[in-house]
Amino acid sequence: MKIDLKIDIDSNTDTTAADFLAAKSGLSKSKVKDAMNKGAVWLKKKKGGMNRLRRATAVLNKGDHIELHYDEKILSLTPTSADCLSDRGNYSVWRKPPGMMAQGTLYGDHCSLIRHAELFFSPPRKVFLVHRLDREAAGIMLIAHDKHAAAGLSELFQKNLITKRYRAEVLGVLDDLRGAIKFPIDEKSAITEYQVLSHDSGKNTSTVDIVIRTGRLHQIRRHLEMIGHPVMGDPKYGKGNKNAEGMRLTAISLKFRCPVSKEEVEFSLPQ
């Protein structure tokens, strides 16, 4: 079942958000509350933007705009767990598992890393997403906890001042043990450097270490497909590279000058 409601409140009412949406959608109040808790309800007051509304007892007032984006399939998903690798106070470092979204959608955020981090800390902290990692990929991600850290980290990513290393299993045997792929992506310059670590003749695959010098959409996946060695398990790019293990691409480390401490830091996945 999928329901999309967008309603302007044209008069003051004592009705709670949960009761109002249950009446308008035909859903039970318990299902509405579950949808609210999982981030599928949005509220816009007279001033300010749209925000997720999780409080079922919130009273709606004239001039409010409320939305319910209910997708039974999405809301029934069980979220996977991410690991907090380092708590730096102003920001934290996480290992995102494959299949977990960085942030949610209109239809909910309970399966996202940003919501997982929001629920992880006690007392609660603000959470700011400063970069993304493909849903199918796993690995290191940063989440900021104040606006200063968020701005500083975002600037580092935007200016490519963070060294980002990845590990991938790709189809076939690469001709060169070390190289750089420089094909433009979306008419913009893109550089992906790689080093072959090992070959598996039985599976006809290679394991490669990768550093990207630019941050184009799906850069690694697209570049490796361009040279005929797509990432194993990639659901979008490549032929002959499908498997039952999911996409074999992991962000293994981030190295940068911390915008808070001004020190060089490096965060890596445990080996």
Q: Quote the pLDDT of residue 175.
A: 87
Q: How far is CA 236 from CA 85, 172, 213, 246, 247, in A?
A: 30, 18, 22, 12, 10
Q: Quote the pLDDT of residue 14.
A: 79
Distance between CA atoms of 171 and 248, rounded to whole angstroms?
A: 10
Whether the pLDDT of residue 58 is over 80: the answer is: yes
Q: Quote the pLDDT of residue 48.
A: 85
The model's confidence at residue 15, banded by pLDDT at 50, 70 and 90, is confident
pTM of the entire structure? 0.90
Distance between CA atoms of 31 and 8, rounded to whole angstroms?
A: 22
Q: Are 97 and 246 in contact (CB under 8 A)?
A: no
- For the segment 60-86, the average pLDDT, to the nearest whole number, is 95
What are the residue ranges spanned by the domains of the chain? 2-75, 83-161, 163-252
The model's confidence at residue 11, banded by pLDDT at 50, 70 and 90, is confident
Q: Quote the pLDDT of residue 129.
A: 96
Q: Quote the pLDDT of residue 141.
A: 98
Whether the pLDDT of residue 271 is over 80: the answer is: no
What would the pLDDT profile of 173-219 be if each residue is shown by its tens digit? 998 999 999 999 999 999 999 999 999 999 999 999 999 999 999 99
Does 3.30.2350.10 match the CATH number of domain 163-252?
yes
Catalytic pick among 19, 134, 176, 234: 134
What would the pLDDT profile of 82-112 be if each residue is shown by its tens digit? 999 999 999 999 999 999 999 999 999 999 9
Q: Are 118 and 92 in contact (CB under 8 A)?
A: no
Q: Is 71 a catalytic site residue? A: no
What CATH topology corresponds to 83-161? Alpha-Beta Plaits (3.30.70)
What would the pLDDT profile of 124-164 be if each residue is shown by its tens digit? 999 999 999 999 999 999 999 999 999 999 999 999 999 99
- Nearest Cα neighbor of 191 from 167, 156, 226 is 226
What would the pLDDT profile of 211-265 be if each residue is shown by its tens digit? 999 999 999 999 999 999 999 999 999 999 999 889 999 999 999 999 999 999 9
Q: What angle do CA 234, 128, 87 make, to 5 degrees?
A: 90
Q: How far apart are the first and last CA of the chain?
A: 43
Task: Collect all residues with Cβ–Cβ distance below 8 Å to 226 and sequence separation of at least 6.
Answer: 181, 183
Give domain 2-75's CATH architecture: Roll (3.10)
Instruction: Determine if the peptide bond prior to 123 is cis (ω within 30°).
Output: yes
Q: How far is CA 48 from CA 51, 65, 91, 192, in A?
A: 9, 11, 26, 41
